Structure 1
Amino acid sequence: MLIALAAELRDRLTLAQSARPTAVFLLAGPEIAHEKDAIAHALADVLGYDWDLYNLGDPDLTAARLFRSGPSGPLPGSLQHQLMRAPHSVIVLDRIEQAEPKVIERLVACWCSGVIVDSARIRIPTKGAIFLLTTAVAQDRLGQIGRDDLSADQRHLACLKIMSDEGIPAHLLRRVDAAFCLEGMSMHDLARACRHRLEQQVAAHGLILAGDGLAPEVLTCAMTSALGVSALAFKHRRVALDRRLVQCRKTGVTHVRLVMDDDEIGVEPIETVIAAGIHKPA
């Protein structure tokens, strides 16, 4: 999916376009560990763009608030203020399926015209922006599309068909340049990905996570965090783990095991082979 997104974006950046936004992309399908947000952040980082996220599922984020303005122009936090401050921005519009009709009308209008006309009559171009729409609808069906052997055009049309069936307005879907579906993960894939992340964290400190060096309780904690349960608590545990790994490395340890130590992730040194058949505590 990332390769397809990169290819589509490359084509759009190299084409001579009108005043429309650089791209309006749709990211759909099952999500693990906020992948859609991570994709947006990585995209902005690679391009050197700024980025901002608007949660359209927030009932307080009305059209008046998203496009709010004062007598002298756009107010901080508004979409047009972001684009005035950083014309080259990745704009994430999260939960597009929950946006109120007036929000969708204003978005479609600014994509069609290439400008947001502020209430102070200031015209803010959208040409340099990339809009990423995200959705949580029909995750299983959209995930299957991501796994099917389809061409980019077939996947785009199949995705938009499902979105239309879910009630997403047709005039918004017509403005989507390309739709991309996350494939989702099996629990086996998720476990493997979580172990890999912890291995990378350990390796960053010059240490090696032994083959049997991950306690089941630690892996379970990592997996539930990836699924959105106690994610913040696990993030704090990983920060504390970094401190423990630093201290462990200072002792000359090379191989470690990660275990649960009360509510934290503990680090245990394990034996390593230093000569033929001779073991020494690390």
Structure 2
Amino acid sequence: MGTAALINRSLPVLIFFVCFITIVRFLADGTAKLGIWLRMAASFAGAWWGLILAVAFLLWIVVGLGLLARWGKLPKWIVKRKWAMDVLNRLTNRAALEERLKGDATPVFIDANALAEALKARVIGQDAICDDIAAQIRRRMALQQRGKPVGIFLLAGPPGTGKTYLAKCLAEELRRALIHLDMTQFSQALSATMLFGSPKGYVGSNSYGKLTAGLRDTPDAVVLLDEIEKAHPEVHKKFLTSWNDGFVTEASDGRPISTTRAIFMLTTNAASDDLEDVRKQDGTDQDALRRNATTALRDAGFAPEVLNRIDRILIFSKLYGLDVARVTALEIEQMVRSYGLEVADQGIDPELLFKMMQRQETLAEAASSRDIVRSIEESIADSLITARQDGARCVALIESGEGVIAMPVEQRIEP
């Protein structure tokens, strides 16, 4: 303990005893000297002494109440007043409650099949990954004693295949908060303070980091570390304690924040070509897939100790065939709704979907779901605006020689 800290801790006690001794000596003088004190108080000098005694007495009361509050001995009539800023400090023992929450690992039983079906309905073309992650989540959430996060999953593969979207869908299906961190913001070693807080005396030490504040407020959140490969390697290593020991330390006050109820989802586009070959070669052999995927990611710059903490490496595949049509149809429906319209039943021309599939094949290796969105916007945005201006509420999209026409319909077309 430093000298400054020792003085800060000892000063209230010294003030308390000085004030106490002053009052005791005053009372011990008896009534004989009471008149002397009154006469001194009547003079100018006596007035100053009276002011000093009054301040000393007030300090004695404040210090005494502070010590009683620290020892939990405050009278109930004081505690009941709404002076405390936090309702938990006023109505219960907050420290004991937080300690109890840390040790609470109540098992949660979920339906893996229902979760997998819900994910597959929203994330197109990644059925095997949805089944795998649903089974992993079910097993880990059922554990009653757990000393580390529910799961640390690395979602790898080419861009635009649904990695980030899967993490968001998982948070929604589990009804958990999502802490979305774009790791491109943490490309410098010192940027770790934005996640874990700054030490005392440094800029930003008056507030928590983005990660520690999020886990403090929502300890069962889904933490999405998007494009983890773009963060500095030293930032990667800052996560080791949270993944291995079940807590992360806030640098500003040294408080440990539990991570045992959180789910960590990491996404990366690194080594996507090598990982695609690994997936095709070892898709059914999990041990071989992890071994070869770990080698590819290590060659791409990931530290071995970071990869060792990851529970599951999930490799996403590119979109082909009818999966492109499914993604296109869903994106069209979402875009039409964003213009305040509805798509009629069977209101998307199959020719439109076929052209989108051909365009994806033309792009080949560069194709992704984002290219689909751009193509859709270029094809149908103008016709949707025209239909909206004409007062339409429901439209059917028809491919013509001159482009896509958004034709208003009075009601939804029955299949």
Whether these two folds match at TM > 0.5 is: yes
Point out the more displaced range, 225-234 or 10-19: 225-234
Structure 1, unpaired ranges of 5+: 271-282
Match 1:54 to one of 181, 193, 205: 181
CA contact 2:383–2:406 (8 Å) conserved in 1: no
Match 2:165 to one of 14, 38, 48: 38
1:257 aligned counterpart, secondary structure = strand
Q: Distance in 1 between matches of 2:230 and 2:238?
A: 15
CA deviations over 1:214-251 (Å, ceiling 9, x no partner): 69489859x9783458749939966984994895566x
Distance verdict in 2 for CA 1:259–1:159, change over 3 Å:
farther
Structure having the larger proportion of residues in helix:
2
Count of paired positions: 260
The match for 2:312 is: 178
1:140 aligns with 2:278: no
Matches within 5 A, 1:61-210: 62-69=191-198, 70-71=204-205, 73-75=207-209, 78-119=210-251, 120-148=253-281, 149-186=283-320, 188=321, 191-197=324-330, 205-207=343-345, 208-210=347-349
Normalized against structure 1, the TM-score is what? Answer: 0.75
Q: Distance in 2 between matches of 1:123 and 1:98?
A: 26
CA deviations over 1:74-127 (Å, ceiling 9, x no partner): 15xx10011011111111112222321321221012222211111212221111
Q: Distance in 1 between matches of 2:322 and 2:273?
A: 16
Structure having the larger proportion of residues in strand:
1
Deviation at 1:5, TM superposition (A): 1.2
Q: Which amino acid aligns with 1:206?
A: A
CA contact 1:95–1:133 (8 Å) conserved in 2: yes
Structure 2, unpaired ranges of 5+: 1-128, 199-203, 410-415
Higher Cα radius of gyration:
2
Q: Distance in 1 between matches of 2:242 and 2:375?
A: 36
Q: Distance in 2 between matches of 1:260 and 1:247?
A: 25
Q: Distance in 2 between matches of 1:134 and 1:214?
A: 29
1:206 aligned counterpart, secondary structure = strand
1:234 aligns with 2:377: yes
The match for 1:267 is: 406
The match for 2:351 is: 212
CA contact 1:214–1:258 (8 Å) conserved in 2: no
1:57 aligned counterpart, secondary structure = helix
- In angstroms, what is the RMSD of aligned CA positions? 3.8
CA deviations over 1:179-198 (Å, ceiling 9, x no partner): 10001124x45642344326
1:24 aligned counterpart, secondary structure = strand
Which structure has the higher relative contact order (CA within 8 Å, separation 6+)? 1
Distance verdict in 2 for CA 1:26–1:260, change over 3 Å:
farther
Match 1:14 to one of 142, 155, 162: 142
Distance verdict in 2 for CA 1:261–1:267, change over 3 Å:
farther
2:343 aligned counterpart, secondary structure = coil
